[in-house]
A and B are shown apart, each in its own frame.
Chain A
Amino acid sequence: MDTGMIIIVAVAVTFILFFILSYNKMKKQEVNVENAFSDLDAFLMKRVDELDNLVQTARVATDKEMEVLKDVTALRAGVMNAPNMNKKIKAHNTLQQEMPNIMMNMESYPEIQFNENYLHIQRSINNIEEQIQAARRNFNSHTGKYNQLISTFPRNLIAGAFGFKKKPMFETPPEKRENVDMKALFDR
């Protein structure tokens, strides 16, 4: 075999190896993103479940049909029926934006405000909110790495050929980014 041939074979082998390793790396990262989303989704669903508990508690405590409960049911359905990751993220963001209003509306009923069960669920929701934030940051970290991987040269060529597409980050709604005034919360 002459030198030219050896060089061609070496280049081809290097290229194929790079191709295989890149594909595997992107696939692995994509799986990581999906796993991170599954973890996040589990916490998000836990919040929906707690919201259900909250609704039940409110019903028992007040013995009234409240307008706010209809809103909760609609938001819950939005989350449950979302067909894909993008829609789920949107539905959860809407739910997150509506959460403070729901809580405030419920607390306008004195029989709920001092209900032991309600207070327990409220703490539980606080805890889940923190876990959601952690899972969201974990998901965004994996998504960021994945998006960076598939959009830099020369991997973007392989990504394009095999249909690896950029994935959306789970951004916090703008009002969530503001600092929480704990004093106001306690005084409420």
Chain B
Amino acid sequence: MKKWDEAYQLERFAKTEEEFDAYYEEELKSDVERLEAERRKAIGLTKKQAMKLLPAVVVLLLSYFFWPFIIGYLFFGILFICTFLFKDIERNRRELEKKIKEELVTDIVKFINRRFTYSRRRYVPQEDFINSNIFDIDPNRYSGDDFIKGSVGSSVEGNPSGNRQPKTELMFSEVKAFHVVPFKDREGKKKQRIRPLFKGLFFVADFNKDFEGLTIVTPQNDRTVAKKQKKNSKGRLEEVELEDIDFMDTFDVRTTDQITARYILTPNFMNRLLSFTTRDRTKEIPKPASFKEASRIAMNARYSPQLNFVNPPYFSFKDGKMYFLLPTEKEHFTFSIYLPLTKEVMKGYFHDINIALELVDELNLNLRIWNKE
């Protein structure tokens, strides 16, 4: 059932925890259980292969005490056997990961929004990252995966006001961006100095107003952010002092045009941006019902949702587009073959995708009372 915003009669797109729970029980659970069975089978194979290795390890230990002169040959021999035995395990792991992403993540993406598409290997283009103009330096090593693209809105069905809703295009993916500088050390050896710029989720969305120029909103006192617009070296970014004290305590704002910055960052929008960034999302999650459930969540912590934004996010507004960078410093949509595939892991995937829709809902990106279609 569609949800509507009281104040603006806008469709709300983000899904709730309860909706996900219901969806999981009805549709996803059987697939998760089937893939969990496959995972266990893969673990069984790992154990079996490890058992095959046991005699070789015993021989290695004995040789250490009795025939130390052959230990080197033995070690490399065992290493060779290891590679042979564990090749199948690695292949199984990769196949399972592919299945999880292509079946489960795709299903969750479709549950969240039917118009979203998911590509496992693609990512938001580097050009968009450079366009966001947030960091003082452009990345020359850029990678990512888990690309989700689509649009929300443009539906008239069920809208209490009867008006056709506008459409907001958005895309996001996991991204890693580095700047690598090659150099020679004192001995003349070639080395690389790698400066990590960003690791996390990168979102690009249509903004609800038309504007030209660049405005960036970055965490307070972040020294890595850009001081000038790169495409035009003369376009120095000026600092903006806004009226909202809490907002200015959290963020620094730089722009190419003071009026455009204020056109984007209205008092209401600053409020929404601040509450979107600092909201405690853990309150919305039901507490684990038993010790067993709590320990299972703890075991999966690495793969569980990082609900609150641990590191403050970056926002950039350029030529009618909004760029949102959430530095989570972790891998998304991943799983470990050694940990059970549970509802919590699925919830982690769900929360990562749902952020995009929360962004549209909470910042009213689909609201068009201005001259933008």
Contacts and interface: CB of A to CB of B under 8 A. Distances in A.
* Mutual binders A and B: yes
Given A137-B262, A183-B6, A123 B243 contact: no
A137 B264 CA distance: 12
B3 to A, nearest CB: 15
Contact of B9 (A39, A133, A182): A182
B140 interface: no
Nearest to A42: B259
B259 A182 contact: no
Interface stretch (A6-14, A100-108, A124-132): A124-132
Interface string B33-61: 00000000000000000000000000000
A186 B164 CA distance: 13
Q: Which of A36, A39, A124, A127 has the most CB of B within 10 A?
A: A127
B7 A183 contact: yes
A138 B161 CA distance: 35
B161 A186 contact: yes
A141 B259 CA distance: 11
Contacts of B9: 182-183, 186
Contacts of A182: 7-9, 369
A173 to B, nearest CB: 16
A186 B163 contact: yes
Given A182-B7, A183-B6, A186-B9, A123 B369 contact: yes
Given A124-B371, A141-B241, A186-B161, A134 B263 contact: yes
A138 to B, nearest CB: 5
Contacts of A187: 161
A144 to B, nearest CB: 9
Interface string B1-34: 0000011110000000000000000000000000
A135 interface: yes
B266 A133 contact: yes
Interface string A152-188: 0000000000000000000000000000001100110
A135 B259 contact: yes
Given A182-B7, A183-B6, A126 B370 contact: yes
Interface in B231-248: 241-243
B163 A123 contact: no
If over half of B's interface residues share one DSSP class (helix, strand or loop), that class is named, otherwise mixed; here it is: loop
A186 to B, nearest CB: 5
A36 B266 CA distance: 18
Nearest to A185: B369
B209 interface: yes
Interface string A27-53: 000000000100100000000000000
A33 to B, nearest CB: 13
A142 to B, nearest CB: 9
Interface string B68-90: 00000000000000000000000
Nearest to A125: B371
B260 interface: yes
B258 A123 contact: no
Contacts of A126: 369-371
Contacts of B266: 130, 133-134
B371 A123 contact: yes
A174 B287 CA distance: 46
A127 B369 CA distance: 8
B214 to A, nearest CB: 15
A127 B370 contact: yes
A141 B260 CA distance: 14
Contacts of A36: 258
B263 A130 contact: yes
A130 B243 CA distance: 16
A127 B371 contact: yes
Interface in B351-373: 369-371
Interface string A109-124: 0000000000000011
Given A126-B369, A183-B9, A131 B259 contact: yes
A39 B369 CA distance: 23
Nearest to A135: B259
A135 B209 CA distance: 16
B7 A130 contact: no
Interface string B241-280: 1110000000000000011111100100000000000000
A130 B163 contact: no
Q: Which of A126, A133, A134, A141 has the most CB of B within 10 A?
A: A134
Nearest to A181: B7
10 contacts: A123-B369, A127-B209, A134-B261, A134-B266, A135-B262, A137-B242, A137-B243, A138-B259, A138-B262, A182-B369
Interface of A: 36, 39, 123-124, 126-127, 130-131, 133-135, 137-138, 141, 182-183, 186-187
**4 tightest Cβ-Cβ pairs between the two chains A and B:** A134-B262, A134-B263, A127-B370, A127-B371
Given A127-B209, A137-B243, 14 more contacts: A123-B370, A124-B371, A127-B371, A130-B209, A130-B266, A130-B370, A133-B262, A134-B262, A134-B263, A134-B266, A138-B259, A182-B7, A183-B6, A186-B9
